[in-house]
Amino acid sequence: MPAESRPDPDPPAPGADASGDPWARLDFDRARRTGDPEVVFGSGKTPDQVVQLLTELHAAHPGRAVLATRLDEATRALVAERLPAASVDPVARTATLGPMPTPSGTVAVIAAGTSDQDVAAEVAVTVACFGSRVQRINDVGVAGIHRLLDAKPEFDSADALVVVAGMEGALPSVVAGLTGTPLVAVPTSVGYGASFGGLSALLAMLNSCAPGVVVTNIDGGFTAGVHAARIARTAHHPEETR
């Protein structure tokens, strides 16, 4: 189809494959427009594409870490091999390349169970790349409510909360009842049977009886991290703004 679809004989643009067909119109201006880092969504891309995109984006933004998410094992291996300066996280399934920003504000990442750790880790890496500190609080599921209450001082001073839970997705409601801090709920695909791949947790969180609970897609750790970091880094911190 090339003849019909790409009559233009110009040299390949950045991010173009050998046939001259640009498969990705790189957007070097997002940072300027939004104040955020560049990000590569790894799902559906080949390992080679991810490495190439990380390389080009890092070259365009040498002063700030570029983030790649949803990297499968083969991609993480190729990134580690080709880009030794990259930091690869096998739990979060992410890679970062370049210096992390100086953090401003704090996001508490609260996870219900051991099985939710990979999503919580993706939140954490994302928050750090988008410019805030991370405070992690693990294994505080609602069936052992005293553990959550014990952990309350750990998240009381955060600027934003991300609450990660699968199965019945009840944790965000309980946490939101304990605080007035902006809170993002992340349903995970942890569960079986009628959890329907995280649908149950998603619906539960959307129906939270606690005021102000907003929700991401199932396993949407990246989305939650972006939103929470944007809140935390612009929050008023008297001690910092002096």
Among positions 70-89, residues that touch a second copy (CB under 8 A) are 70, 89
When the beta carbons of 28 and 81 are compared against a second copy, the nearer one is 28
When the beta carbons of 82 and 103 are compared against a second copy, the nearer one is 103
153 binds a second copy (CB under 8 A): no
b/e map 85-114, b = 16+ CB within 10 Å: ebebbeebbbbbbbeebebbbbbbbbbbbe
Contact string (CB under 8 A) for a second copy, positions 107-146, x = contact: --x--xxxx-x---x--xx--x----xxxx-xxxxxxxx-
Torsion of CA 181, 204, 163, 178, to 10 degrees: 40
Among positions 192-231, residues that touch a second copy (CB under 8 A) are 192-220, 222-224, 226-227, 230-231
CA dist 159 to 109, 156, 217, 236, Å? 11, 9, 22, 9
Among positions 50-69, residues that touch a second copy (CB under 8 A) are none
Q: How many residues does the chain have?
A: 242
* Smallest gap from residue 54 Cβ to a second copy (A): 14
157 binds a second copy (CB under 8 A): no
Among positions 87-106, residues that touch a second copy (CB under 8 A) are 89, 92, 103
Listed ranges 16-24, 56-64, 77-85: which one lies at the site for a second copy (CB under 8 A): 16-24
- Residue 132: how many CB atoms within 10 A of its CB? 27
CA distance 26 to 17: 13
User: Angle 70-88-227 (CA atoms, 0-180°, nearest 5)?
Assistant: 50
Q: Residue 186 has which token pair?
A: 């992340």
When the beta carbons of 84 and 242 are compared against a second copy, the nearer one is 242
* Smallest gap from residue 84 Cβ to a second copy (A): 20
Comparing C-alpha atoms, which of 92, 127, 125 is closest to residue 107? 127
* Smallest gap from residue 28 Cβ to a second copy (A): 11
When the beta carbons of 80 and 103 are compared against a second copy, the nearer one is 103
Judged by CB under 8 A, the residue of 9, 10, 33, 63 near a second copy is 33
Comparing C-alpha atoms, which of 91, 99, 111, 109 is closest to residue 67? 99
